[in-house]
Structure 1
Amino acid sequence: MTDKQKSPKSVKPRSKLTELEKKIIALIQTNIPVTKRPFLELAQKIGVEEEVVLKTLQKLHENGTIRRFGATIRHQISGYEANAMVAWQVDEDRIDEVGEMMASFEGVSHCYSRNPVKEWPYNLYTMIHGKTEKACYKMAEDMSAKTSVKNYTLLFSRDELKKTSMKYFP
């Protein structure tokens, strides 16, 4: 796993965020200005120097508070027309091992373990993205072969009813 794909388990928890850190996070939760110096504009909004914003963001990334910083594009425009949540039934003693393997696949954007229920035995979930549904099925087959997990089902998205980023600070 690369630094930018660091597992949340590999990041040590830290103390609470400072008020300055909360202000900076609140600014970057929404669209960042498309200007020559966007972080200068953000800094001016909260009355600090641009360097303070940049160093704070760097620190928050290094300590794992901010996992990634990047653009969000509409996947359909980029040629990825299909996405599916794959529900996997994994032996409990292999959850971490299998989760790490599945998370390493290029087309996987999310990987979570959850408690199963009697009527639904699946306990590991991956969100996979492909150019076609066939590509998603192939990826799931490859993941199954690599992990030896044979009981799984793909749930393809039908309609996007809501998709937003979480806003942690107003």
Structure 2
Amino acid sequence: MKDEILLKIQKSFPLVAKPFEVLANELNITENEVIQILQDAKTNNIIRQTSAIFDTKKLGYQSSLVAFEIDNDKIDDAVKILNSHPGISHNYERNHSFNIWFTMAVAPDSSLGLEQTIKILSKLTKANDYIILPTLKLFKISVKLDTTNKEEKKEKIKKRDFKELELTPYHYEIIKLLQEDIEFISEPFKFIIDKLNITYDELFCIMNDFIESGVMRRFASILNHRHAGFNANAMVVWEIDENNAIEIGEEAASFSAVSHCYLRPKYKNWKYNLFTMIHGKTNTDTQNTIDSISKSINYKSNMALYSSREFKKTRISYFSNEFSKWEEKNQKGIA
């Protein structure tokens, strides 16, 4: 039963006043049983966070995947410096000369911008080299770990047309509150309607506007991969023909074990341009997915970069003053 609930709250969290009651009715158990199962999973660090997942770009932020080459004896100090930046949400050590991989975002009002911020960080961390790997094409972003072992191995990726939505100060207020990790209580959204003095109908109408415009990808629980039993997580990179990139990327993204799939640029010192994040319970599971993809797409070479250490994994706190504070403190790094 726990595995069924964990899968459900990753995929489609009910946007209603009493979401756990809805889940309970679907599973023919009580609301209290659902809440207790989820609370236990939270206590045991299986559930990392339950909140809104926003589209960084649609909120006006610049972002990119970045890889640094750091000497092994400098990694610990470098990680402290990197993790202090509020726009770094994910940070891992991987098995490559480019050994520190992180996602980086800077605020819409950044005085430094993305590239200058990365340049400053490379100096502060004493990086030997670095590459900036922005998204050229997004094929898939959806972390849904199959806790039940019942999901199909492949899935159809739905293409969506998003409506226009001009964000207002009122929207920003709601975005800030939706970022908060909800409590597992009967009415987990009540703190928002109480704070803003609005109705549930108003809140869920705005949340649906966020979803239909692509501003919010979904509201969901994110699991701690390793605590949920997924111990073999690899970023698999592929060298593919750019002329056929769309067809190849869509095929790679169709595998259910692939949570992220992007087209990124190539460089003289980096030939891989298709990135797939693959989650497996064992190295064999992950390798089986890699083998299946390799039989389905045309590629020149590939490489599996396993995460040996996780240094940071959190949601960005959008529209926080921590971004400007970091820039004020580190402006001297420009020189």
Query: TM-score under structure 1 normalisation?
Result: 0.88
**CA distance change for structure 1 residues 79 and 30 in 2, over 3 Å: closer, same or farther?**
same
- Match for 1:90 among 223, 227, 240? 240
Paired with 1:13 and 1:152, the residues of 2 have a C-alpha distance of 37
Matches within 5 A, 1:1-170: 6=158, 10-12=160-162, 14-170=164-320
Q: Is the 8 A contact 2:225 2:231 kept in 1?
A: yes
**CA distance change for structure 1 residues 45 and 33 in 2, over 3 Å: closer, same or farther?**
farther
Q: Is the 8 A contact 2:248 2:298 kept in 1?
A: no
Q: Secondary structure at the match of 1:159?
A: strand
Paired with 1:136 and 1:6, the residues of 2 have a C-alpha distance of 24
Gaps (5+ residues) in structure 2?
Answer: 1-154, 321-335
Which amino acid in structure 1 is aligned with residue 260 of structure 2?
A: H
Q: Is the 8 A contact 1:39 1:54 kept in 2?
A: no
Share of identical aligned residues, percent? 36
RCO comparison, higher one (Cα < 8 Å, 6+): 2
Higher strand share goes to which structure?
Answer: 2
Q: Tell me the number of residue pairs that the alignment of Structure 1 and Structure 2 aligns.
A: 166
Paired with 1:142 and 1:150, the residues of 2 have a C-alpha distance of 16
Give a deviation string over 1:116-153, Cα, whole Å, max 9, x none.
00121101101100011122122111111111224100
Q: Is the 8 A contact 1:101 1:147 kept in 2?
A: yes
Paired with 1:125 and 1:108, the residues of 2 have a C-alpha distance of 10
Paired with 1:6 and 1:168, the residues of 2 have a C-alpha distance of 27
Give a deviation string over 1:34-77, Cα, whole Å, max 9, x none.
22122222111122222211111012112222112110111122
Paired with 1:16 and 1:161, the residues of 2 have a C-alpha distance of 36
Q: Secondary structure at the match of 2:251?
A: helix
Paired with 2:158 and 2:169, the residues of 1 have a C-alpha distance of 26
In the TM superposition, residue 89 of structure 1 has moved relative to its aligned partner by 0.6
Bigger radius of gyration among the two: 2
Q: Secondary structure at the match of 1:155?
A: strand
Paired with 2:276 and 2:187, the residues of 1 have a C-alpha distance of 37
**CA distance change for structure 1 residues 6 and 154 in 2, over 3 Å: closer, same or farther?**
same
In the TM superposition, residue 163 of structure 1 has moved relative to its aligned partner by 0.5
Which amino acid in structure 1 is aligned with residue 166 of structure 2?
A: K
Paired with 2:176 and 2:304, the residues of 1 have a C-alpha distance of 36
Root-mean-square deviation (CA, aligned residues, Å) is 1.8
Query: Which sits farther off after the overlay, 40-49 or 110-119?
Result: 40-49
In the TM superposition, residue 16 of structure 1 has moved relative to its aligned partner by 3.2
